[in-house]
């Protein structure tokens, strides 16, 4: 019997045989933490009493969640990160360079077959490149800083076979919102979810990153896509023989969907799995539209939004916030003329980073306000007041809604 992709990777990383249900201790290829989680990890590492991290080239730090700092207290935590990075010789991506989950793949820290861990739940994003990547808390991350290894329970894999061809204006975000709605916010808890089928094969790595990013919104440990030509195109075109594909493995479940008639989807307040077609939400007025985050702020996301709003104006009373995922994305969008389009339409372009996604800065919602956002969570209080509401949707739906001032199906714009 063959192995799932995750079993293969964990077998390799634990120098033994990793079967579903086993607890293995695996080598970690890269570990990341950001300004929301690194301070606790650095403190825990300090408490271990160790002087040097196991390998300073395999630890990456990011100041992206609340960046630039908006308070003195946070500035002190940022400084603590900078001095730890300096003292240990660790690479730190500072203010304005971008969101961790964009930079990790973009800057070449993720390769097929790697074990990548991160002190952030959306670390599951990197499965898009055939890596086993999962989110952890700060103590586990400190243990990796110390030893380069960590225990994992080898997860069962749920396989989603996505067949057909996506209709126009239906995006990878709509695919993953639909699957989260179908599976439920805890439907894949502790499991690995593998995405396959003709829709995934036809999807760019950008789209696969969006899909894997939200695997955790169904409770999954990681999301993963088998490697193919597109994986290696993203990695620079060189096929290095690092193929990670599961063959005749045993799956916890296999679900097949034909998504040829999928409509744009939206997750309504206040749960990620409260999903329906945009066409069924009725009239919902919005105060803020957000195009940003590790889910959807790559060049292809900015491009579709720019195409939709070119020559038009953002609706009166709506704040349309655009937060490119990284400096590279920002520059490419600038060169492509998208930034000019956004500004001419009356949108606000913020510096690369996490934006208002987790309720820290750059667009906190007041009580009673409503946002439509390309981010990944709409829990109570996520983007500000516990009396505000967040709808999660694709870049096209967000752009369409910014133009009309109400939640709008992009197919009609």
Partner 1 sequence: MVDRIVSKNLHFFGDNISTDLIIPGKYKFKTTDPKELAQHAMEDADPEFSKKAREGDIIIGGENFGCGSSREQAPLALVGLGIRAVLAKSFARIFYRNALNLGLPVIENRQVVDDLVPGDTLEIDLKKGAIRNPRLNRTYPIKPLPPFLLEMLEADGLVAYYKKYGRLPWQKA
Which parts of this chain interact with partner 1 (CB under 8 A)? 23, 25, 35-37, 39-40, 43-44, 47-49, 65-66, 71, 73-74, 77, 118-121, 123, 135-140, 142-143, 146-147, 151, 185-186, 189-190, 219, 221, 271, 358-360, 377, 379-382, 386
Is the CB of 219 or the CB of 410 nearer to partner 1?
219
Is the CB of 194 or the CB of 409 nearer to partner 1?
194
Going through 165-287 in order, the beta strands assigned E by DSSP cover 192-196, 222-224, 253-258, 265-267, 275-277
**Smallest Cα–Cα separation from 297: which of 101, 135, 69, 132?**
101
**Smallest Cα–Cα separation from 325: which of 300, 294, 347, 356?**
294
CA 192 to chain centre: 16
Q: How far is the CB of 354 from partner 1 (least distance, A)?
A: 10
CA distances from 362 to 44, 236, 281 (A): 30, 34, 27
Going through 154-303 in order, the beta strands assigned E by DSSP cover 157-163, 192-196, 222-224, 253-258, 265-267, 275-277, 288-291
Q: How far is the CB of 72 from partner 1 (least distance, A)?
A: 10
Calpha distance 191→210 (Å, rounded): 18
Calpha distance 376→379 (Å, rounded): 10
Q: How far is the CB of 95 from partner 1 (least distance, A)?
A: 14
Decide if 59 contacts 53 (C-beta within 8 A). Answer: yes
Is the CB of 138 or the CB of 231 nearer to partner 1?
138
The CA-based dihedral angle spanning residues 4, 7, 13, 18, taken in that order and rounded to the nearest 10 degrees: -160
Is the CB of 182 or the CB of 243 nearer to partner 1?
182
Is the CB of 58 or the CB of 345 nearer to partner 1?
58
Q: How far is the CB of 47 from partner 1 (least distance, A)?
A: 5
Is the CB of 73 or the CB of 248 nearer to partner 1?
73
How many residues are present in the chain? 413
Is the CB of 341 or the CB of 362 nearer to partner 1?
362
Q: How far is the CB of 163 from partner 1 (least distance, A)?
A: 29
Q: How far is the CB of 65 from partner 1 (least distance, A)?
A: 7
Is the CB of 165 or the CB of 387 nearer to partner 1?
387
Q: How far is the CB of 132 from partner 1 (least distance, A)?
A: 14
Q: How far is the CB of 240 from partner 1 (least distance, A)?
A: 31
Calpha distance 322→398 (Å, rounded): 11
The DSSP code for 68 is S
Q: How far is the CB of 394 from partner 1 (least distance, A)?
A: 21
> Can you spell out the DSSP letters for 339-380?
HHHHHHHT-EEPPSS-TTTTSSSSSPBPTT-EEEESSS---T
Question: Within 13 Å and on the Cβ side, how many CA atoms surround 235?
Answer: 21
Interior CA angle at 210 toward 251 and 56, to 5°? 90
Q: How far is the CB of 53 from partner 1 (least distance, A)?
A: 14
Is the CB of 113 or the CB of 219 nearer to partner 1?
219
Calpha distance 67→355 (Å, rounded): 8
Is the CB of 16 or the CB of 381 nearer to partner 1?
381
Decide if 128 contacts 111 (C-beta within 8 A). Answer: no
């Amino acid at each position: 019997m063959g192995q799932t992709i995750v079993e293969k990777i964990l077998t390799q990383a634990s120098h033994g045989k990793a079967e579903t249900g086993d607890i293995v201790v695996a080598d970690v290829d890269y570990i990341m933490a950001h300004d929301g989680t690194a301070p606790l990890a650095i403190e825990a590492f300090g408490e271990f009493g160790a002087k040097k991290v196991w390998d300073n080239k395999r630890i990456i730090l990011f100041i992206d969640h609340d960046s630039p700092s908006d308070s003195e207290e946070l500035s002190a935590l940022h400084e603590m990160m900078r001095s730890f990075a300096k003292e240990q010789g660790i690479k730190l991506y500072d203010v304005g360079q971008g969101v961790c989950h964009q930079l990790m793949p973009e800057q070449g820290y993720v390769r097929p077959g790697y074990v990548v861990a991160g002190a952030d739940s959306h670390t599951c994003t990197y499965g898009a490149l055939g890596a086993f990547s999962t989110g952890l808390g700060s103590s586990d991350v400190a243990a990796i800083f110390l030893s380069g290894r960590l225990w994992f329970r080898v997860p069962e894999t749920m396989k989603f076979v996505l067949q057909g061809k996506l209709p126009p204006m239906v995006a990878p975000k709509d695919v993953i919102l639909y699957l989260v709605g179908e599976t439920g916010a805890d439907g894949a808890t502790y499991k690995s979810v593998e995405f396959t089928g003709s829709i995934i094969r036809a999807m760019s790595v950008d789209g696969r990153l969006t899909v894997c990013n939200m695997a955790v919104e169904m409770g999954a440990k990681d999301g993963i896509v088998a490697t193919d030509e597109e994986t290696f195109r993203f990695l620079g075109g060189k096929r290095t023989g690092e193929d990670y594909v599961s063959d005749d493995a045993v799956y916890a479940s296999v679900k097949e969907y034909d998504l040829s008639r999928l409509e744009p989807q939206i997750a309504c307040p206040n749960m990620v799995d409260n999903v329906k077609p945009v066409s069924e939400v009725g009239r919902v007025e919005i105060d803020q539209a957000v195009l940003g985050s590790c889910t959807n702020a790559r060049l292809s996301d900015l491009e579709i939004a720019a195409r939709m709003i070119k020559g038009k104006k953002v609706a009166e009373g709506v704040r349309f916030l655009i937060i490119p995922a990284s400096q590279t994305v920002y520059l490419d969008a600038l060169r492509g003329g998208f930034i000019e389009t956004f500004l001419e339409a009356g949108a606000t372009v913020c510096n690369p980073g996490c934006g208002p996604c987790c309720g820290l800065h750059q667009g906190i919602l007041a009580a009673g306000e409503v946002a439509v956002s390309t981010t990944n969570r709409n829990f109570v209080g996520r983007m500000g007041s516990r009396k505000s509401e967040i709808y999660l949707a694709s870049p096209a739906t967000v752009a369409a809604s910014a133009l009309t001032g109400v939640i709008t199906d992009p197919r009609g714009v």
